């Protein structure tokens, strides 16, 4: 019963945040991700690029991959992501392709699970080198957490890291893997750009340290933390 009450509270927090901020605090659209293990990551990506029918049938507007580079939970860890104009389109699209059925990709991957994501703050689709954290945030602090992430993004950009941006995503239908967490993706164009941001902080030269401390003050607990290298492999236009 306590878990049910907690989940209802979290969903109400998502709705309250969207209603309060409307276009300012959320973005249109949604993403689906398929979490997989690929014994040969490069071969799998090459095959995916050469065979786009599985993506096309879902109605996705864009799609790509993210390959885990550190913090692996298993070898060959990666995900295939697809972008949709709405949560409705994402859920309908996920029914048009069943990744668990035998296909030309079956021998190249082991499917772990799938999940739909809703962005909770403005997010531009520009894959790069991405620090990915799953964070358990108290339901009462959901709005202030997203606001703090947005302020941190602006502060880091103002410090000269113009290519940096954050995404915050709420999971929908992610099973026990994603329940009660938010996904925070901190993105730059490459590993060098991300490393410079860390060096600024540890050298005590960051003007955004206070904004970072404000994020920590929201009480979120980090569940997982890793780096992904992402790219777009499918464009509908």
Averaged pLDDT, 164-176: 95
Number of domains, the chain: 1
CB 1 within 8 A of CB 83: no
pLDDT of 165: 96
pLDDT tens-digit profile of 82-96? 999 999 999 999 999
pLDDT of 100: 86
Q: Can you give the residue range of the structural domain that contains 113? A: 2-235
Confidence check: pLDDT of 28 > 90: no
The pLDDT-based confidence of 231 (bands split at 50, 70, 90) is: very high
CA distance 4 to 136: 16
Long-range contacts of 4-13 (CB under 8 A, 24+ apart): 6/139, 6/180, 7/179, 7/180, 9/139, 10/139, 10/142, 10/180, 12/139, 13/139, 13/140, 13/142, 13/143
pLDDT of 209: 94
22: left (phi over 0), alpha (psi -120 to 50) or beta: left
The pLDDT-based confidence of 22 (bands split at 50, 70, 90) is: very low
CATH of the domain at 226: 3.30.70.100
Written as one string, the DSSP assignment of 21-66 is HHHHH--S-EEEEEEEE-SSHHHHHHHHHH--HHHHHHT-SEEEEE
Predicted TM-score of the model (pTM):
0.86
pLDDT of 104: 82
pLDDT tens-digit profile of 30-46? 999 999 999 999 999 99
Average pLDDT, the chain: 89
Is residue 115 helix, strand or coil?
Answer: strand
């Amino acid at each position: 019963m306590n878990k049910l009450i907690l989940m209802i509270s979290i969903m109400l927090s998502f709705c309250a945040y969207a209603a309060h901020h409307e276009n300012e605090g959320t973005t249109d659209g949604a993403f689906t991700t398929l979490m997989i293990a690929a014994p040969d990551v490069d071969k799998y990506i090459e095959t995916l690029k050469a065979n786009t029918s599985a993506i096309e049938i879902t109605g996705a507007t864009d799609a790509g991959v993210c390959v885990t580079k550190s913090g692996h939970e298993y070898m060959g860890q990666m995900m295939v992501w697809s972008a949709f104009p709405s949560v409705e389109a994402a859920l309908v699209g996920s029914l048009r392709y069943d990744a668990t059925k035998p296909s030309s990709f079956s021998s190249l991957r082991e499917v772990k699970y799938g999940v739909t994501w809703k962005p909770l703050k403005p997010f531009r689709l520009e894959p790069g080198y991405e620090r990915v954290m799953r964070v358990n945030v108290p339901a009462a602090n959901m709005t202030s957490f997203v606001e703090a992430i947005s302020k941190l993004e602006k502060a880091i950009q103002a410090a000269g890291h113009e290519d940096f941006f954050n995404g915050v995503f709420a999971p929908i239908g992610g099973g026990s893997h994603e329940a009660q967490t938010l996904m925070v993706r901190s993105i730059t164009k490459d590993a060098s750009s991300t490393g410079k941001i860390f060096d600024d902080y540890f050298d005590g030269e960051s003007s955004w340290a206070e904004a970072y401390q404000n994020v920590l003050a929201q009480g979120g607990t980090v569940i997982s933390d890793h780096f992904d290298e992402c790219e777009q492999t499918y464009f509908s236009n």
